[in-house]
Amino acid sequence: MLCDFCDADFDSYTPVYWGLADKQNGSYPLQWMRKVERPRISEDLYCPTCKHRLAFLLFRQQALRFNGASEPDNNNAE
C-alpha cells in the first residue's frame, strides 16, 4: 500500500532501482488494491542514510526479487 506522497513520487525512481530494465517506462499504471479503512500514523524503523522506512525497504526488496534483479543497487534513486 502506498500513501498519496509515495504514489505521486513513484516515478522519481529509475526503473533499475526496482529491478526493471533501464529502458522500461517508469510511468506504468499503478492499480488500486483496496481502500484503507482507518488510516493512521504509526512508528516504523528507518534507515538513517537513505531516510526510507523499513516498510518501503522491504517492499523494494520484494520488487527486486519479483523482477529478477540479482543484487540491490541503492544508488539508483533520482
- Residue 48 lies in domain: 1-25+43-78
User: Could you tell me if residue 17 is inside a domain?
Assistant: yes
**Among candidate residues 3, 10, 21, 11, the one with its CA nearest the CA of residue 67:** 21
State the Cα–Cα distance between residues 24 and 70, nearest whole angstrom.
17
Residue 71 belongs to a domain: yes
pTM of the model: 0.66
User: What is the dihedral sign for C-alpha 63, 74, 11, 57?
Assistant: positive
For the chain, the domain total comes to: 1
Closest CA to 58 of 44, 42, 40, 37: 44
Is 33 contained in some domain? no
Instruction: Return the minimum-mean-pLDDT range out of 30-34, 35-39, 72-76.
Output: 72-76
Give the tens place of pLDDT for each residue, 44-76.
999 999 999 998 899 899 989 998 876 555 555
Give the whole-angstrom CA distance, residue 64 versus residue 8.
Answer: 20
